[in-house]
Amino acid sequence: MIKKLIISKFLLLMIAIPVLCQGEQLIINLSPSLKNRIFIFENQKGSIRVIGYDGEDIVVNATPRFRETEKSGSDGMRRIEQNPFNIYAETDGSTIGLYSRAIGKTLDFDIKIPRNFSLKLKSLDNGNIQITNINGEIEVENANGDISLENISGSSVLSTVYGKISAVFREVKPDSPMMFTSFEGNITLEFPPAINAILKMKSGTGEIHTDFDLVPVMRQPVVKNVENTKIYTLEDWVAGKINAGGPEIIIKSYNGNITIRKKQVIK
């Protein structure tokens, strides 16, 4: 079953689709007057996979991860599905929000989206977030799973607690800071060799590796006030300039390793 959703200017639309236990598709037809091109989605439970493509529609596929079995009991009673899931989209003329109602179910989302889009994604449990081929600002929070970005042009703010982060940037947006944090997981980033930035890194118990030539940056003293005496100490970050220096890229892990690579240029 496929439903089409046409979002026109300044119109608030809600489309709820009742679904059985099979997967569901929602096509969001974007109006050219959409202002900010920001896509917002929070998945309560499950994975999100977003792929940028050359079309102009957002195509959302949602699949329950676990099939409900409909076996009859010995007394001839069958279980009846009573909480089918809903997915719907909403716009306020400037952003698109996708919402799902899937009480307790794990839903995995596959989303095809126009390449030039900014994303704000969050998964609360039981899933990884994977983003490919996007030009824009990417904001992801996934406390319990991995975050992986590939072929990205733009900037991003990613955070997880128990997952790994890996991000490969084809290009970075100049003058825009970025931030990557994972408490337990490794953080692996690839940037174009010509990037201008200041890296600020810190890993509590892990190691930091890079093949960029980092020029140490003078660190700012931090004032600590102990028993009315001011103590100046250095901020405990490793800070280094890549090429001409530029916006700050902040990378922090506690138990994970940090690896910053030059992206291989394919000749």
Partner 1 sequence: MKKKDPKEKIIDLLQGNLTPEEAREVISGLEKDGIDAGELESLRRISHLIESVNPGEPSSDMDRRFYEMLANEENEALAAEKSLIGKRWFQASSFNVGVRIAAGIALFLLGWFTASWSGQKSNTDREMADVSNKLTDLKQTLVLTMMQQNSSLERIKAVNMLNEFDSADERIIGSLLGALNHDENDNVRLLSLEALIRYSSNPAVREGLVTSIANQSSPMIQLRLAEVMVALNERKAAPEFQKVLMNSGLNYSVRNKIKEAVTVLL
196 binds partner 1 (CB under 8 A): no
**In whole angstroms, how close is the CB of 169 to partner 1 at the nearest point?**
14
Residue 177 binds to partner 1 (criterion: CB under 8 A) = yes
- Using the rule CB under 8 A, is 157 a contact of partner 1? yes
- Taking contact as CB under 8 A, which single stretch among the options 18-26, 61-69, 163-171, 252-260 is the one that binds partner 1? 252-260
Alpha carbons 39 and 201: distance in angstroms, whole number: 29
Of 8, 33, 94, 243, which one interacts with partner 1 (CB under 8 A)?
A: 94
Binder among 24, 134, 252, 259 for partner 1 (CB under 8 A): 252
Distance CA 114, CA 202 (A): 35
User: CA 221 to CA 236: how far, in whole Å?
Assistant: 9
Identified binder of partner 1 from the candidate list 159, 166, 210, 259, rule CB under 8 A = 159
Helices and strands in the chain: count of H runs, count of E runs: 0, 22
**Residue selected from 91, 155, 188, 203 as contacting partner 1 according to rule CB under 8 A:** 155
Query: Residue 218: left if φ>0, alpha if ψ -120 to 50, beta else—which one?
Result: beta
Q: Which of 248, 261, 262, 263 binds partner 1 (CB under 8 A)?
A: 248
Residues 6 or more apart whose Cβ sits within 8 Å of residue 124: 42, 43, 44, 45, 143, 144
Nearer to partner 1, 55 or 221 (CB): 221
CA distance 158 to 255: 17
| CA dihedral sign, ordered 208, 165, 115, 248 | negative
**From candidates 225, 265, 266, 267, binder to partner 1 by CB under 8 A:** 225
Question: Pick from 17, 124, 161, 217: which binds partner 1 (CB under 8 A)?
Answer: 161
Q: Are 259 and 182 within 8 A, CB to CB?
A: no
| Parallel, antiparallel or unpaired: strands 197-203 and 238-242 | antiparallel
The answer to the question of residue 75 lying near partner 1 (CB under 8 A) is: no
Instruction: Confirm or reject binding of residue 126 to partner 1 (CB under 8 A).
Output: no
Q: Which is nearer to partner 1, 62 or 199 (CB)?
A: 199
Judged by CB under 8 A, the residue of 8, 22, 29, 36 near partner 1 is 36
**Which residue from 15, 115, 183, 261 is in contact with partner 1, where contact means CB under 8 A?**
183
12 binds partner 1 (CB under 8 A): no
Strands 118-123, 86-91: parallel, antiparallel or unpaired by DSSP?
unpaired
CB of residue 234 vs partner 1: minimum separation in angstroms? Answer: 12
Q: How many CA atoms lie within 13 A of 104 on its CB side?
A: 4
Residues 6+ positions from 187 with CB-CB distance below 8 Å: 164, 165, 166, 180, 181, 251, 253, 256, 257, 258, 259
| Residues making contact with partner 1 (CB under 8 A) | 35-36, 94, 118, 137, 139, 141, 155, 157-159, 161, 175-179, 181, 183, 204, 220, 222-227, 230, 233, 247-248, 250, 252, 254-255
